[in-house]
Structure 1
Amino acid sequence: MNIPDVRLRDVTLRDGLQLTGGLMPTDEKVRLVRELLALGVTDIEIGSMARPDLVPPLANTLEVVAALTPEELAHCWVWVATPRNVERAVAAGVTRMQYCLSVSDAHNRANIGRSTEDSMAALPLALDIAEAAGAELQLCLATSFTCPFEGPVDPERTLALVRDPRAERCSDTVICDTLGQADPRQVAHLVGEAARARPGHDVVFHGHDTWGMGVANALAAVEAGASVIDGALGGLGGCPFAPGAAGNTSTEDLLFALKPSWLTPDAFGELVRMGDRVTAELGERSTSRAAAGAHSEARAFEWILPR
C-alpha cells in the first residue's frame, strides 16, 4: 500500500467532546490547541457554532477563538450549519469552517432541524458570507454511508451532493462515516468517486471506530485519494443525534499507522501523554490501541514510552 504524507485534523475539541458530560475550560482547550500545533499537527477542529443548549460541551467555542492568535486560527476549523452560523464565526475571526449537513433527511432533521435540501439551498448564502470575509468553507457530508434512522445510504445520494453546482465554491469535501459502520471497500469507492468528482480539491475522510474499522477505513481513504483524515485523542466522540455512534478513530492510532514525516517516537510519546491527560480530565476511557501499546512492557520497540 502506497501511503503519502497526509495531514491529520484533530477533532478532539469538537466531535471528541460532544458526548462528554462537562465543559472543558477555555484555557485547557487553548492549551491543547497550542500543544498539538507545536507537536506538528497542522489542522485542528476547535468547536462548533451549534446551540449551546443542544451541545453544552461546545458552549465556549467563541471564547476559544478569542484566545487564539490569527496565526493559530489559520490552522483551526469550526463546525457550522447555517449562514447565520457562518456570519457569527467570521465576525469572531474564524477563517476555516465546515458547513455540515447529512446525506439522509432523517439525520439532518435530527441534527440540524431541517431537510437536506434546505441545508443545500442555504449553502450559496453561507459561501457568500465566507468569501466576503476571506474565509473558506468545506462541504461536510454526515451519514455518507449509513443513517441511524434510514439505514444504508445509496452512494449516489452522497455523490449527488458532492457534484451539486451549489457546492462548487466549497474548498474541500468531507466524507463522514458518522456511525462507523462502513468497511474499507465502501470507503475506497466513495472517497475515490468524490475525489474524481472534484479534481483539484481535497477530500477529507472523517471516520468512527464503532465496528473496529477506523484505521483500516482511513488507510483505504488515503489510498483512494483523501489528503486529510480526522481523528480524536483517545478515540473520544460520537454524535448526540446518532444513536449507536461510538467515538472517532483515535488520533494516536491514525498517526501511528500513517507515521507522517514529523512523527518521531518522542513526538508520539507526547501525543500519547496528551491523550492520557485529556481523557483523565474528562473522566473518559481512552480506546486508543496505539496508546495502550505505548504503555506496554515491550522495551525493545522504539515507540514504547520510556519508564
Structure 2
Amino acid sequence: MTTTFDSTVLRDVTLRDGLQLTGRLLPTSRKLEIIRFLLDTGVPELEIGSLARADLVPPMANTLEVIEELTAAELTRCWVWVATPRHVEKAADAGARNFQYCFSVTDAHNQANIGRTTEASLDAMPAATAITRTVGGRIQLCLATAFTCPFDGPVPEWKVLDILADPRTGGADDIVLCDTVGQAIPSQVASLVEQAKWLRPDCRTVFHGHDTWGMGVANALAAIEAGADVVDGSLGGLGGCPFAPGASGNTAVEDLMFATRPSYLDPPAFARIVGFSEQLLAELDEPPRSKAAQGARSRARAFEWVIADPASTSR
C-alpha cells in the first residue's frame, strides 16, 4: 500500500478547476503566490489555468499572464487546460509546455462546455498534438464525463475505451479520466482505470475526481490501487464545472494528502497547507470542505496531525 501511494503523483488543480465556480478573478500576483507555495511545499504537478473564454469563465481571464510570469523550470511542473489547437498555440507562445486537451465523452456536455461535438474535438486533436511536439511539450487526453453525464446519465465504458483506441488520440502522453459530476463509485473507477492502463500502457493514467457524493477520496484510492499514476485535487475542495448541473468541488488536496502521506508531507507541512488553504477559502468567500482540515483543527491534541500552534499555519 505505501509503495503504491509513494509512486503516485498528486496534482493540484486549484487554479483551474478549483476557481471555475467561484466567479472571482484572482490577480496574477496572487495566483503566482499560490503556485509557488504549492511547488515549494513539494506538490509535484499543478494545473494552473485554462484558455476557456474569459466571458464564460471569468476566473481564467489572466491565465496567459500567469504563464508568462513563471520560469521555464516552474512550467515543467504546470499544466494548462486547452480545447483547441489555437489554445495550444496561444499557451505555447506564452511559454507553456504541458497541455491538457479536454473534451467530453458525451456530445451533450461537450456542446455545453466547449461548443462543439465530441467528434469535432477528436478531429482537432492531431493538430493540437502536432503543435505540442513542435515546442517539445507534452499533451494529455482529458476525458470529461467519463463515468456519468449531467445531461445523458451513465456513460458506458465502451464509449470511453473507443476514444482511447481511436488513432486520433494516439499522440497523447497521459490519459485523464474525469468523474465530472462526482457520481462514480470505487468499483467503476477501478474498472475504467484498469482498462485504460491495458489499452494505453504507453500513457500515464490520471484520475480526476469530484466529491459531490462523498466518494472523492475513496475513488482516488481505488484509482491508485488500479494503477493510476496521478490523482487530482484542489485546496479546500474548491471547484466544479460551470457547465455541468449538479457538479461541486474537487476532492480536497488536504484529504488526499492525509490519506496517501506523500514523502514531502509531515505534520508541520500539513499545518502550513491547511492554514494556506483556509486563508484562500476566506478570500474567496468559499466554505471549507476538507474533512482532514477540519480534523486538523480538532481538540485531539495527542494526534500529531492536529494543529496545536496557530502560528504554524502562517504563510
Relative to the length of structure 1, the TM-score reads 0.99
Deviations, residues 103-161 of structure 1 (Å, cap 9, x unaligned)? 00000000000000000000001111111111111000000000000000001101111
Q: Which residue pairs with 1:4 in the alignment?
A: 5
**Structure 2 spans left out of the alignment, 5+ residues:** 310-315
Number of aligned pairs?
307
Q: CA deviation at 1:173?
A: 0.1
Q: Which residue pairs with 1:191 in the alignment?
A: 193
Query: Counterparts in 2 of 1:273-292, with a 5 A limit?
Result: 273-292=275-294
Q: CA deviation at 1:259?
A: 0.5
- Counterpart secondary structure, 1:98: strand
Is it true that 1:85 corresponds to 2:87 in the alignment? yes
Instruction: Please give the alpha-carbon distance, in whole angstroms, between the structure 2 residues aligned to 1:86 and 1:75.
Output: 17
Q: Which residue pairs with 1:128 in the alignment?
A: 130
- Counterpart secondary structure, 1:100: strand
Instruction: Please give the alpha-carbon distance, in whole angstroms, between the structure 2 residues aligned to 1:11 and 1:185.
Output: 24
Deviations, residues 142-198 of structure 1 (Å, cap 9, x unaligned)? 000000000000011011111111111110000000000000000000011001111
Is it true that 1:302 corresponds to 2:304 in the alignment? yes
Instruction: Please give the alpha-carbon distance, in whole angstroms, between the structure 1 residues aligned to 2:24 and 2:303.
Output: 37
Q: CA deviation at 1:4?
A: 2.9
Q: Which residue pairs with 1:40 in the alignment?
A: 42
Q: Which residue pairs with 1:155 in the alignment?
A: 157
Instruction: Please give the alpha-carbon distance, in whole angstroms, between the structure 1 residues aligned to 2:220 and 2:23.
Output: 28
**Structure 1 spans left out of the alignment, 5+ residues:** none
- Counterpart secondary structure, 1:14: helix
Identity %: 61
Deviations, residues 67-97 of structure 1 (Å, cap 9, x unaligned)? 1111111110000000010110111110001
Q: Which residue pairs with 2:182 in the alignment?
A: 180
The code of the aligned residue for 1:156 comes to W
Q: Which residue pairs with 2:254 in the alignment?
A: 252
Is it true that 1:96 corresponds to 2:109 in the alignment? no
- Counterpart secondary structure, 1:71: helix
The code of the aligned residue for 1:283 comes to D
Q: CA deviation at 1:33?
A: 0.5
Segment drifting more, 2-11 vs 165-174: 2-11
Instruction: Please give the alpha-carbon distance, in whole angstroms, between the structure 2 residues aligned to 1:116 and 1:298.
Output: 50
Q: CA deviation at 1:200?
A: 3.0
The code of the aligned residue for 1:305 comes to I
